Chains A and B, each alone.
Chain A
Amino acid sequence: MEASKVIHAFYTDDEVLLDAVKEVKAAHHHIEEVFCPFPVHGLDKAMGLAPTRIAITAFFYGITGLAFAIWMTNYIMIEDWPMDIGGKPSFSWIENMPSFVPIIFELTVFFAAHLMVITFYMRSRIWPFKDAENPDPRTTDDHFLMEIPVNNNEEALVSLLAKTGAVEINIVDKH
């Protein structure tokens, strides 16, 4: 298929990379992936990536934690065994609410934080013993790599990439 061959263009500077991405986008080529050793400010916008929705998931996880904490305090302290502990009113949940707030707060944060992190791991496909998907070890140190699929336009792509300041251009078979 068409994605069997890809071009790997290497850059050594994030500013050059950013300009190269903009140029490649302007020439209407699809960028498969960009590998960077560190976050490059504005790269997602230049590539036209959709904004992340992880904050929205965190909000709902937080609400889940809130609901769980309210249910838990209400069930344990009010419904199941409403004891008089040091004169605290256990007739209804709202009467004793202030003493539940610390746990409600902590559980909200706990749910929001942990479930969001797990969501991030799952969406990014990161887990222990996972094989690294690194096309070139230099991209973790001081090189940036742009991967573009080839569709019978090899020469045009290579000349375009050479113009953008790539230090090395390889054509790789991808399986």
Chain B
Amino acid sequence: MYQFSGKLKTFSLALIIIGLIGTVFSFYNGSQKTIEDAKQVIAASHSSGHGESHGAAAVHAEGDGEGEHASEIEAHAADEHGDSHSEENGTKSYSSKEEHNVAGSHEAVEGHTEKHTNENQSVEEEHSVSDVQEHEEHVLHQLQNRPWSAFYVALFFSLGITLLVLAFYAIQRVAQVGWSVVILRVMEAISANLLPTSILMILLLAASVMHMNHLFPWMADGTVDPASENYDAIVDGKSWWMNSTGFMVRSILYLVAWNVYRFFIRKSSIKEDTANDGNKTYKKNFNASVIFLFIFMITESMMSWDWIMGLDPHWFSTLFGWYVLSTLLVSALTVIAFFTIYLREQGAIPGINDSHIHDLAKFMFGFSVFWTYLWFSQFMLIWYADIPEETTYFVMRFTEYKLPFLGMVVMNFVFPILLLLNSDFKSKPWFVVIGGVVILAGHYIDVFIMIMPSTVGAQWFFGIPELSALCFFIGLLIYTTLNAFSKANAIPKGNPFLKESEHFHYYNIEHTGEGSADH
């Protein structure tokens, strides 16, 4: 049995406490934001130069806003050539269009406001006052969203990793995999993180539904009420899916389904050790895993629509569920490799050799490429067709998040492919750790870029809120995992494939401390 070392326990608890303090501080800070702060931010962005703020205008115009914005520029260009009379006409038709847009969406409003302050100031003075107010309110919401999103990014990442560890574990059972049996208990232990993160997730989603934040734009008051000035016809059209009741019911269903499997399989897996019933328990666990994988694939897809794509209610992508899956899957494998390497160093798991590490590294490598494939497929299809309602998603990310957006491709693709291509490198733990750290950081950035642009827009930064949320969830993961690992046998003794796993040997790996006679 593994003994949870006191030092590490203290370390993980310290991380949790530091993370909590930082999170509470940033929530307090976020709640203190006033309209004055928003005004300052806007003033700062305007003073950065005419050209830049104009570019930002195009970026902010999301959803249907962008198309209309473009047509307006054309209309404007035509006006400049016409006489004064037609110019006035043009402006009039404009403002009626505008009113429609103001009701339409925040983003569109923002785009127009900037445009007006730049070009139409004198003509539209009266109108732009209300526009400016809306803009300020929008920026204020973004500022207030920041601690929420920072926490949400780390929470979703942590929950997702744990969930995918559980799914990978189920795959190992269903595929009756021989090599991984000695590390099944590591995966089981990591999945202990599922329960606390699920509870936090429900709390956070409930808080969103109760309007304690502005994470999900479709939850705002009046988006589905035609009489309201917040009315959004697009959201209204999707309200059969995107409504608070359905959202909460679905979210709870996903989380309960996953936790039920985790609870059952953990209990039954420990029972397997001493069952001695002709593999009856083993077969029962096999069946449970088959059912879980079926449910998992459906719930994972829907979870990504609800929790991530719902942040951009005007945007949609069919590939998204798989994309989220791939980013979480490669992170999950990295986390498994980390804990395996750590526990092996501690001598806690007998029977682990370099070939197991090599296999984990192969999975990290392969799924890094898989992630890149899905990321690029989504990006390239949207870039190629360039349909405004889809493109805005990437326009926003490319202009406001350029460094993390491009940096993550390097971290998640180029780096692992060069580091983990060589077969010898893959069996060296320290190589795997270096590759893993970059992969995990890269996929954190990936989740960051999925969530942040929709919630805080251009007001993003990696500071105290993000760092403390990350600390909190890393601490939680370490604590729950090692705590769970110390509660059961390090090796699943009753598994019929255990022997095979203990003798697992990938043919061209020279194991450390092994001569050629051992082959």
| Residue ranges of A at the interface with B (Cβ–Cβ < 8 Å) | 41-42, 45-46, 48, 51, 55, 59, 87, 98-99, 101
Contact = CB atoms under 8 A, between A and B. Distances in A.
A101 B375 CA distance: 13
A98 B379 CA distance: 9
Contacts of B421: 59
B516 interface: yes
A48 B507 CA distance: 14
A106 B508 CA distance: 28
B519 interface: yes
B519 A51 contact: no
A51 B508 CA distance: 9
Nearest to A46: B519
B519 A99 contact: no
A101 B376 contact: yes
A74 to B, nearest CB: 18
Given A42-B507, A59-B421, A98-B376, 9 more contacts: A42-B519, A48-B516, A55-B423, A98-B379, A98-B380, A99-B380, A99-B384, A101-B376, A101-B380
Contacts of A46: 519
Interface string B191-231: 00000000000000000000000000000000000000000
B299 to A, nearest CB: 32
Contacts of B508: 51
B377 to A, nearest CB: 10
Contacts of B376: 98, 101
7 contacts: A41-B507, A42-B519, A59-B421, A87-B386, A98-B376, A98-B379, A99-B384
A17 B306 CA distance: 61
B363 interface: no
Contacts of A55: 423
Does more than half of chain A's interface fall in helix, strand or loop, or is it mixed? helix
Contacts of A45: 516, 519
Nearest to A42: B519
Contacts of B379: 98
A55 B422 CA distance: 9
B383 interface: yes
Given A45-B516, A45-B519, A59-B421, A98 B386 contact: no
Which of A42, A45, A48, A59 has the most chain B CB within a 10 Å cutoff? A45
Interface in B455-488: none
A55 B425 CA distance: 14
Interface in B364-388: 376, 379-380, 383-384, 386
B445 to A, nearest CB: 20
Nearest to B384: A99
Contacts of B384: 98-99
A114 B334 CA distance: 33
Interface in B489-519: 507-508, 516, 519
Contacts of A98: 376, 379-380, 383-384
A46 B384 CA distance: 54
A87 B516 CA distance: 61
A46 B516 CA distance: 8
Contacts of B507: 41-42
A105 to B, nearest CB: 9
A59 B376 CA distance: 22
B516 to A, nearest CB: 6
Nearest to A102: B380
B405 to A, nearest CB: 13
A40 to B, nearest CB: 12
Interface in B88-107: none
